[in-house]
Amino acid sequence: MADRMNSYETVAASQTAQVLGLNGAQGDFIERLIIVPATTTPGLVTLLDGTTSIPIMVTGGTTTLVPMVVEINAHSQTGPWKITTGASVSVIAIGDFST
C-alpha cells in the first residue's frame, strides 16, 4: 500500500509483551519480523494482537545463528501489536505502528 509509512522497532531478548510503537493501537500494520538468535537454543518469540497470542518461533532445534525473516502482512484486530522474546533471541519488527 502506498499510504503506509513503515518503520522499525527493536525488541531485545527477554522482553514480555513489548508494545510496538509509542503506544500502539488496533489497526496497526506489521509487515515482517526479523528474528535474530544469539544461541542455538534461543527461546520462543510470540507475537500478540492485543491479548491473542501467536507463537512465531519455538525454542531449540536450530543449529545456526542465521536470522529468520517471517512475513506477517497484517493489521492488528484487537489492540496493539506486542512481542515477547526468549532469553537469547531479539527481534526487529517492521511495520506502521502508532506513535
What are the grid coordinates assigned to 34, written together?
526479523
Give the domains, in start order, of the chain with CATH numbers: 7-96 (2.60.120)
Q: How many CA atoms lie within 13 A of 20 on its CB side?
A: 34
What are the grid coordinates assigned to 80, written together?
496493539
Q: What is the pLDDT of residues 10-31, one digit of tens each?
A: 999 999 999 999 999 999 999 9
Whether the pLDDT of residue 33 is over 90: the answer is yes
User: Would the pTM of this model clear 0.85, i.e. be above it?
Assistant: yes
State the pLDDT at residue 3.
Answer: 54
Q: What is the pLDDT of residues 41-52, one digit of tens each?
A: 888 999 999 889
- Give the integer Cα–Cα distance in Å for 98 and 47: 17
How big is the chain by its Cα radius of gyration, in Å?
13
Q: What is the pLDDT of residues 61-76, one digit of tens each?
A: 556 688 889 999 999 9
